[in-house]
Amino acid sequence: MNELISPFRRLGRITLAVQPPFRLGVFEVRPAALEISGPQGEETLEPRVMQVLVALARARGEPVGRDEMIDLCWDGRIVSEDALNRCVARLRKALGADPRVALETIPKIGYRLKVREGVPPESPSDGAGPEVVSGERRPSKRALLIGATILVFAAAAATSWYLTRPGPARTAQGFRPLTSEPGIESYPALSPTGDVLAYAAAARTHAPRDLYMRATRDGEPVRLTDNPMDDYAPAWSWRGDRIAFARSDGRDACQILVMSVPGGAERVVGRCVGDSYTRVSWVDEKTLVYSDRPSATGPRRIMSLNLDTGATTVLTNPSPELIGDSDPLLSPDCRLLVFRRSTAAGVDDLFVRDMRTGRERQLTNDGWKAHGFAWTHDNRYVVFGSNRGGDFGLWSVDARRPAPPRRVSVGLLGLGRLSSDNDDRLAVEMNSDRMNLEKIGTDGSLTRLTANTGVEWDPTVASDGATAFVSDRSGASELWVTTPGGRAARLTSLGASYVHGPHWSPDGRRIAFVAAIQRKVDIYEIGRDGSGLRALTRDGRDKASPVWGRDGALRYVERSAKGWRLMRLGGDGQARPASGGEGWRLVRTDPEGRLYGVRTNDTRLWTLPEDGGAAREAVPGLRLEDDAWAVGRNGVQFVRDRLTERSSLWLAPWSGAARQVAPLPGVSWMMSLAVDPRDESVVYGRVIEDETDIGLLELSR
């Protein structure tokens, strides 16, 4: 079973994303797609109902106790028997078309799923029996025509089946490292023959990168670019004689360049809006595709660029409510373009676009992250790195026929971007990250709050010093809390693709946070002891930074077609746009519950009145570089030079000039600050280890 492979997953728990399809009587069950198909067509089951079905099927006809079922499907949380009874009733209705399939109740124990032998399955019938032909009656011309037609369709169906039949599963083997220098080696690009690797590298995280290339068998790296700006995303032309890449100034502007290798001159062929996640790919010898945005706030789109004329064409038009499309990559036969469509932070799906017809088709539909992907040489499969199931392993999905993704390997290290060659070898990014929480006092003293091998981010501190935060130490991102005594406890077992933005309620009893589950992003709350988990919103739109104000109402920001806006959750449980809330992209509170926010394309900090009146500038003259800030009683704590070795913590008091508190080494790109209301100390995530190398895998069938 796939779920027994990953060392990061709890043994036995039903994780639908990794469950393979199976047969049950006349039914085909596809857990990852939440689908069951039978004589009456295809039906979609609720996730919990599908978990119950998988748990019963795995027992192979043996009884499954109620307590065991709750542990497998509800992760041991306390639920009423009615919840399980409703799931069983729903399953009996779904399986009713086959009388051989029996879902039996075992009194005082639980349930058993059996397929009884000797009972014929029902088949739909219109009441007309087959025509009986007696003697040596010759078939009519009409019968011959029908027979010939059937043969033609049968031949076509056989051809279609041959072309679209499921291919053999692939596995990863033969791993060996390609780079091992200190620092970051990223954006691997294998030449078509696989003998040369091009990549971007820097001595430390967030430093400007340059391009290098090296032989995949042996040899030292050869530097291709030497520029103070950031060079990344190299892509080989189909003939292997040129490389296209992106160059960014670290803000909004970027360029698309082409150079001959080795030793050729650079040529700027296009311009774009800066995006560290873009990827350049060749369509043919004079056309590139890349990801770009019409503005700094618009959704990303896939663009094509003519190298001769500089003309650009928009290929995809995602909804303005989405983050958009990125990382375009052509199949080896240049017929299909695969790309990632991001609905919200942590919610990705893969799409393919037919380059001849322009039609788009969705390859994955569960919203798990898809950091990197590559084509197999037969143009059939897309191999991608994803956290579906809890660890960043490799998966493959069929680009020709609808089918759930198959696992290729578990994620022993975080796997990022991928590149493939003509022999199905994969160059993969391998990320080794470790970030723990640390506290810096007003005197500059440092105190370690957590110490483990995971990544932890988004701290929030209650009035008694309890710190809630997000961590992936258990595999997937979950909500944790550390008490003032130092003991850490996990509060959630959501299996979400992403969790972020926790915030304490004013009384310190509850925590609101954002979770992306099955492609939907909503606000949840939970008690500090892990009880009372419930969804506060159910619309699934992209959301961030939930906060409770002094009036007890919960507010958050939401992405709409017009951009970010401030929302207010009323006492009736309904969320409505806040008065004057258009354009706010981030809100936070001080220890007293007063609201502060920043607008899109505005580096000033504003005080937001709760009655919807006019906002006023909180600290005149203060300019915030990014989201690394928090508000205390004494003023605004913020970070300067965050992505450099000179990063430091500053305090901007409510009156007077800003001053440096202390150097702040090892600050993460996932930086967020929290002020401890007891003593105005600051909690943040400190990078303990951040290394990215490139390795080579071989795919076998």
Mean pLDDT computed over every residue of the chain: 84
- Is residue 149, in this structure, part of any structural domain at all? no
Q: Alpha-carbon distance 273 to 254, whole Å?
A: 6
Reference 547, options 498, 497, 512; nearest CA is: 512
- Highest mean pLDDT, choosing among 130-139, 233-242, 401-410: 233-242
Number of domains in the chain: 3
pLDDT at 536 over 90: yes
- Is residue 535, in this structure, part of any structural domain at all? no
- Residue 436 · residue 449 · CB < 8 Å: yes
Which H or E element spans position 629?
A: strand 629-631
Reference 270, options 306, 317, 231; nearest CA is: 306
Q: Which residues pair with 291 in a beta bridge?
A: 302
Residues 353 and 320 in one domain: yes
Name residues whose C-beta falls within 8 Å of residue 72's C-beta, 6 or more positions apart in sequence. Answer: 12, 13, 14, 51, 55, 64
Reference 121, options 91, 96, 88, 93; nearest CA is: 96
- Is residue 536, in this structure, part of any structural domain at all? no
Per-residue pLDDT tens for 539-564?
Answer: 999 999 999 999 899 999 999 888 89
Q: Which two tokens stand for residue 466?
A: 């309890």
Number of other CB atoms surrounding residue 385 within 10 Å? 26
- Is residue 220, in this structure, part of any structural domain at all? yes
Name which residue leads in pLDDT, 76 or 182: 182
Q: Which residues pair with 524 in a beta bridge?
A: 513, 535
Which H or E element spans position 587?
A: strand 584-589
- Is residue 592, in this structure, part of any structural domain at all? no
Residues 213 and 248 in one domain: yes
- Is residue 573, in this structure, part of any structural domain at all? no
Query: pTM of the prediction?
Result: 0.74
Q: What is the pLDDT of residue 288?
A: 97
Q: What is the pLDDT of residue 599?
A: 93
Q: Alpha-carbon distance 427 to 695, whole Å?
A: 6
Looking up residue 95, the CATH number of its domain turns out to be 1.10.10.10
Quickly tell me which residue has 């709409």 as its tokens: 560
Residues 197 and 107 in one domain: no
Q: Alpha-carbon distance 591 to 334, whole Å?
A: 57
Residues 658 and 696 in one domain: no
Q: What is the pLDDT of residue 678?
A: 94
Name residues whose C-beta falls within 8 Å of residue 192's C-beta, 6 or more positions apart in sequence. Answer: 236, 238, 239, 240, 421, 422
Q: What is the pLDDT of residue 619?
A: 94
Q: Which residue range is the domain that position 673 belongs to?
A: 624-680
Residues 696 and 636 in one domain: no
Q: In the β-sheet with 648-653, what is the strand arrangement from edge to edge?
A: 629-631, 635-640, 648-653, 659-663
Residues 656 and 696 in one domain: no
Q: Which two tokens stand for residue 21?
A: 């399809």
Domain end call among 119, 137, 165 = 119
- pLDDT class of 143 with cuts at 50, 70, 90: very low
Looking up residue 427, the CATH number of its domain turns out to be 2.120.10.30
- Is residue 183, in this structure, part of any structural domain at all? yes
Per-residue pLDDT tens for 601-625?
Answer: 899 999 998 877 789 999 999 999 7
Residues 182 and 101 in one domain: no
Using DSSP's 3-state secondary structure scheme, residue 75 falls into: coil
Residues 110 and 185 in one domain: no
Q: Which residues pair with 425 in a beta bridge?
A: 698
Per-residue pLDDT tens for 572-591?
Answer: 889 999 988 899 999 999 99
Number of other CB atoms surrounding residue 37 within 10 Å? 15
Residues 202 and 303 in one domain: yes
Residues 353 and 293 in one domain: yes
- Is residue 85, in this structure, part of any structural domain at all? yes
DSSP labels, 267-326 = EEEEEEE--TT---EEEETTEEEEEE-SSSSSPBEEEEEETTT--EEE-----TTS-EEE
Per-residue pLDDT tens for 287-327?
Answer: 999 999 877 678 999 999 999 999 999 999 999 899 999 99
Residues 290 and 418 in one domain: yes
Share of the chain above pLDDT 70, in %: 86
Residues 213 and 348 in one domain: yes
